[in-house]
Every structure is written in C-alpha cells, then in structure tokens.
Chain A
Amino acid sequence: MDELRLNQELEKWVKERLPRYPTKRSLLVPTLLEAQKYHGHISPSLAEAIGALLDTTPRDVLSVASFYTLVHKHPVGKHVIQLCHNVSCFLNGCDDIAAYIEEKLGVKAGGTTEDGKFTFITVECLAACGSGPVMLVGEKLYENLTPEAVDRALAEAN
C-alpha cells in the first residue's frame, strides 16, 4: 500500500480542533468528512494516515467510515446529488423527480455519469419535508423541486 501524505490544510484543520475533545479519536467522523474534500473517498491508505493522526488503527477508521452514508468508500463524481426518497417527499412526488434526474443524466440511481461530474443517489429524510421534493447537490440544498428547478440546480454545479 502506498503511503499517503495528508493534505497540510487538512492536518491543520484537525490539529486546531483536537484540543476541544478529550480524546483524539472523537474527531474521527468530522475528519472523515473534511478529508473527503481534499482526498476524495476514504481509501485504505487515507485511512492509515487518518488513523496515525488520531491515534487509532486504519481498521477502526474504515469501520467507522463504512457506517455513515455521507462517507464514501469508493470514488464518487465531482458533485454528489442526494435526492430524498422518504415519506413526505414521496407524498409530494419525488419519484417523478428521481425518474427525471435519471433520464437527464443518463444514469440510474446509485450511478455516476460517464464524465465523472455527477453521482446520483437517493437518500433518507433531509429535514426539509415542508418543501419537498428536495435534494442536496454537494453542500447546497434545493427545495420545491420541479424538472425546471432540477435543471437550474444542475446548471449551477460546475
């Protein structure tokens, strides 16, 4: 396994926050999310580097990573589209939006576009039930989705 050098900004980010917790490992979940911004998905070598930084084993890091939906264990597209498919959005027609996105991007739910730009997944309740259907594109939340709104949202992602 190739040794991975953690991005310096990421290391700085971690070290700034460590004093706020009684144990280093406490910062693991936030670190996993932050690390994805610099290194993409959580690979075994990234897990080893994070483990060394937080005084835990790479197995622990990967096990924790595998528990959480927002942590990617495999490469994902540049922008991850997360469309809620839970009950309130279902009642407001998220299935149609899902079908629309599948058609527009040419991928099935769970897949990544060929150009690597978008990964489209359907997820659980995003706590925006009053304005469903809703989706996250990256970190931005789009509510009251219609096909036109979807078009606008995807166009914003560059």
Chain B
Amino acid sequence: MLEQTKVVMRLDGVPDHHRLDVYEANGGYAALRKAVKEMKPAEVIDEVKASGLLGKGGAGFPAGLKWSFVPKDHPGPKYLACNADEGEPGTFKDRWILEHNPHQMIEGCIIAAYAVGISHIYVYCRGEFYQGKEMIRRAAEEAYAKGYLGQNILGSGFSTELTVHTGAGSYECGEETALLTSLEGGRGHPKMKPPFPASEGAWRKPTVINNVETLATVPEIINRGAAWHAGLGTEKSKGIKMVCISGHVEKPGNYEVELGVPTLAIINDLAGGMKGGRALKGFFPGGSSTPVLPAAKADVGYDYESVAAAGSMLGSGALIVFDDKTDVVRMAEVITRFYTWESCGKCTPCREGTRWMLQIYERILKGGGRLEDVDLLLSICDHLEFKSFCPFGDAAVGVVRSTINLYRDEYEDYIRNHKVYKRKFMPVKH
C-alpha cells in the first residue's frame, strides 16, 4: 500500500499551521536560522544542488543549478520571482501551499534570496487566488514582524523584501519570462532567451524564477540535508512531488509521494481508485499540456524519465484521470479551446494554429467533420510543435496528437456518423 512522503505537506492536518506561531512550533524557520547563521550563501546553493531538487512547475530543471547561474559579482539588485501563477489545468498544489502552508514557502523564498543575494522577492500570484493572496500577505506581515523579512535578518546583515504581486487572468503568465513581462506591468508575452533571466530578467536584472512547491521544499532540504533529499526518488528524479489527482477518482486531492512510485498506486492507494468502480481509459500524467497515456501504461513510474520514456511528461504533477465513458473528442476540444483562448498571440504558429485546431474540433462536434480532418490535425501538430516562440505551442499539441493516436476510432466515429455533440451550454469569450 503506497504511503505518502510528506515534505511540503508535512504539517497537513495540523490546525492553523498557516500561522507563524503554529508554524514555528512545528519547526518552522529553523532552516532559515541554520542557513543565515551557519552557512555561507554559496554553501546553501551547493546544498540545494547536491540535493538534486528539480523545479516543480513543469520544466523539472535543477533548482540549485538555476540559482548558480546568477552572476555572483553583479552589483544588483537581484530578484526572486516566486511563480504562484498556477494555471496548468489539473494543478492545484500551489494553491494548497499558499492557503495552508504559506510560511514554508516564504521560508524557502528567504533562504533562496540569501543564497543568491536577492534583495526583493516578488510572489507573483494568480489574480484568481483571492484567498491565497490574502494568506501570503498575512504570513509576510507576520514574517516581517518577526524579523524574518526586511533589514538585517536574524542579525546576519542580509536584507530582503517580499511583495505579493497579482496577475489578472492569463495562463501564459505562468511561463517564466511572460511572468516577468507581466511583473514589469506589461502584457504577458514571453521574452527572448538568451539572455536568460538569471543574467537579465525582471527590469533587466538577474532574476531567479522558482515554483511555489520548489521553494517550499527548500527549508526541509536545509533542515534534513541534501543527502536525505537525494536519497529519495529515483536516480534521475530525486526527491518528492506533490501530485494533484483529479477527474474520475474517488478521492481527488493533493498527495505527496516519492518520485518514481507507480502511478497506478497513486490512483488506487491514495485516490481511492476509479470513481464508481468504472474502468480507467486514460490519464494526463502532468496536466493538460502533457500527452495522454493509455490505461495500459498506468503503472509507469511517476518520475520525469519514466513518464518521458512512456511518451509523455511529468509536468506539474497534475494527474487527470478519465474513465471509459469519457468522450475524448469533446475532452480534447475543451483543452484545445483553453489553449486558443489563452494564447498570448505573439507568435504566428501558436496564435493561428490553436484556433485552427479548435475550429476543426467544433466542426467535428457539430457533425461536419471530414475523414481528412484527423490527419489534418496531426499535420497542424507537426507544424506547430517546436516552432513557436515558447513551449505553449508544444503544450497545445499534446492532447490533440495523443488522443488521435490512442482513440482515432472515436474521432472517426464522430466523422463517419456525422455525430453531433449535444452541448449543454456554449462557452463565450469574455
């Protein structure tokens, strides 16, 4: 029976652990003390590097390595953008952290700031996270009052500020450079790389961007040591991961596991198995941007390399599970509409390609599909993939190509039989 390995969620169940006093009573801010009093900034970076901590926002990039890219001799200022723009469909772990365990995230932010020499932390929060923003604001206030933020933290001479900055409804702003553009007051368009944010980020200053969960893991790495963390998970995916499981399962929710555990165990042991006893048809391993995997591959190890080998991606850790009664064409249409409406519009292939695919889906669902539309969709995927300005274009391709490859017969069923999907309502762009 799969057990959880709670690190970020270690205080789950402890009432009010969003409060500073409760957090401290449960070991909170010990890591910060250790870092600023006993370790040099370079040592902190080395520790995080040695731990093998991978970014938890979707890209899985080694966090310590990212921190080390910031030029040490830069006169500053340097910034940390904590990416709390959780928008990947299926993902709801960061919101949990913001609302229930904000201090562990803030502590991680401050430790990161200390390690890299950052003078201002911006927590870029989705506009829709009204509760989350409020919790972080309150927690930051508490941290300031206690001297964990602001000038001369714990007498170390190190100072850093924290500001909660709101987004206003744009999925693309979760992409690190688009987040920076939004932070600077602009439209959420991604920036050209190089230069990379570590050398030229927000306001053209060195900027580290880390996901909420990544930062919330840092205090435990400092507390328990890099070796402890590196001992968890697999060879190439060290550590743990919060998994957000949703869809047709009995107990959807957030769980935290060692990387590498069998996905099926997450579904059955932690999430209570398929809802209503129905059969598993397929699943998105890491959010709507990751290609669908069939039930046959459900035992894949839940880690970056295994899921990649199976033909998908771990992504943000959003495990979306659907059963055998699911209309996958309609489901693919829902997701394609998401990409079309959320595309920032900067580059031509994504802007035009996503809308094209959506129009084809809408036509198929209206009974007007043609047999060549299936291969046309695949062709659009080939043309869009790896050619857009940012990974958004690649994300849009995932569901289309994988559902066609796995469930082509359902597409053809719609087309051959001029089947019409009975819409219960029609979404309208606001």
Q: Which residues of chain A have a CB within 8 Å of any CB of chain B?
A: 17, 20-23, 25-30, 32-33, 54, 56, 63-64, 67-71, 82, 85-88, 90-92, 95-96, 98-99, 102, 108-110, 121-132, 136, 139-141
Residue pair A129, B182 in contact (C-beta under 8 Å): no
Alpha-carbon gap, A70 to B170, bound state (A): 9
**Pair B254/A130 contact, Cβ less than 8 Å:** yes
Contact call A125/B331, Cβ cutoff below 8 A: no
Contacting pair A98 B425 (CB below 8 A): yes
Q: Are A69 and B430 in contact (CB under 8 A)?
A: yes
Once the chains are docked, how many angstroms separate the CA of A87 from the CA of B203? 36
Binds A, one of B106-114, B242-250, B405-413: B242-250
A88 in contact with B90 given A122-B427, A129-B318 (CB within 8 Å): yes
Out of A54, A110, A141, which one reaches B131, CB within 8 Å?
A141
Asked whether B169 lies within 8 Å of A69 as measured between CB atoms, the reply is yes
**B168 touches A (CB below 8 Å):** yes
The smallest C-beta distance from B233 to any residue of chain A, in angstroms, reads: 23
B128 pairs with A126, CB closer than 8 A? yes
Are A69 and B320 in contact, with the CB atoms below 8 A? no
Supposing A20-B161, A86-B334, A127-B126 touch, asked if A67 and B188 sit within 8 A by C-beta, the answer is yes
Decide if B95 touches A128 in the complex (CB within 8 Å): yes
Contact yes or no, A88 B246, CB < 8 A: yes
What are 28 sample pairs from A and B whose C-beta atoms fall under 8 A apart? A17-B163, A26-B184, A26-B185, A28-B185, A29-B182, A33-B166, A64-B185, A64-B186, A68-B168, A68-B188, A70-B127, A86-B288, A87-B320, A88-B90, A91-B248, A95-B423, A96-B424, A110-B428, A110-B430, A123-B128, A123-B169, A124-B342, A127-B92, A127-B94, A129-B89, A129-B91, A129-B246, A130-B245
Residues from chain A with a CB closer than 8 A to the CB of B244 are: 129-130
Residues of A close to B169: CB separation below 8 A: 68-71, 123
In the assembled complex, which residues on chain B have CB atoms less than 8 Å from the CB atom of A23? 184-185, 203
Chain B nearest CB: distance from A50 CB in Å? 11
List chain B residues, Cβ under 8 A from A132.
246
- Taking a contact as CB atoms closer than 8 A, the residue among B90, B182, B430 that contacts A123 in the complex is B430
The reply to whether B130 and A140 contact each other, CB–CB distance below 8 Å, is: yes
Is there an interface contact between A54 and B185, defined as CB atoms closer than 8 Å? Answer: yes
B163→A128 contact, CB < 8 A: no
Interchain nearest-CB distance for B95 vs A (Å): 5
Give A126's nearest chain B residue, CB to CB: B128
**Chain B residues at the A interface, C-beta cutoff of 8 Å:** 77, 86-92, 94-95, 120, 126-131, 161, 163, 165-171, 182-188, 203, 244-248, 252-254, 284, 288, 318, 320, 322, 326, 330-331, 334-335, 338, 341-342, 344, 423-430
With A and B bound together, what is the CA distance between A140 and B170 in angstroms? 19
Contacting residues, chain B, for A30 (C-beta < 8 A)? 165-166
Q: Are B168 and A125 within 8 A (Cβ)?
A: no
A23 to B253, CA, bound (A): 40
CA distance A69 to B188 in the complex (A): 12
Q: How far is the CA of A129 from the CA of B223 in the complex (A)?
A: 32
Known: A69-B169, A90-B331. A95 touches B424 (CB 8 A): yes
Chain A residues, Cβ within 8 Å of B166: 29-30, 33
A92 and B321 alpha carbons, distance in the complex (Å): 11
Question: Which 10 A-B pairs give the minimum distances between C-beta atoms?
Answer: A69-B169, A110-B428, A68-B168, A28-B185, A70-B169, A129-B246, A25-B185, A130-B252, A139-B130, A67-B187
Q: Which residues of A contact B248 (CB under 8 A)?
A: 91
Q: Are the C-beta atoms of A122 and B425 separated by less than 8 Å? A: yes
Contacts of A70 in B (CB 8 A): 127-128, 168-169
User: CA–CA, A121 to B253, complex, Å?
Assistant: 25
Does the CB pair B130–A141 fall under 8 Å?
yes
A129 and B187 within 8 A (CB): no
B426 & A91 in contact (Cβ 8 Å cutoff):
no
A132 to B245, CA, bound (A): 12
Residues of B within 8 A of A128 (CB): 92, 95
Tell whether, in the assembled complex, residue B187 and residue A64 are in contact, meaning their CB atoms are under 8 Å apart: yes
A-chain residues with CB within 8 Å of residue B335 when the two chains form the complex:
86-87
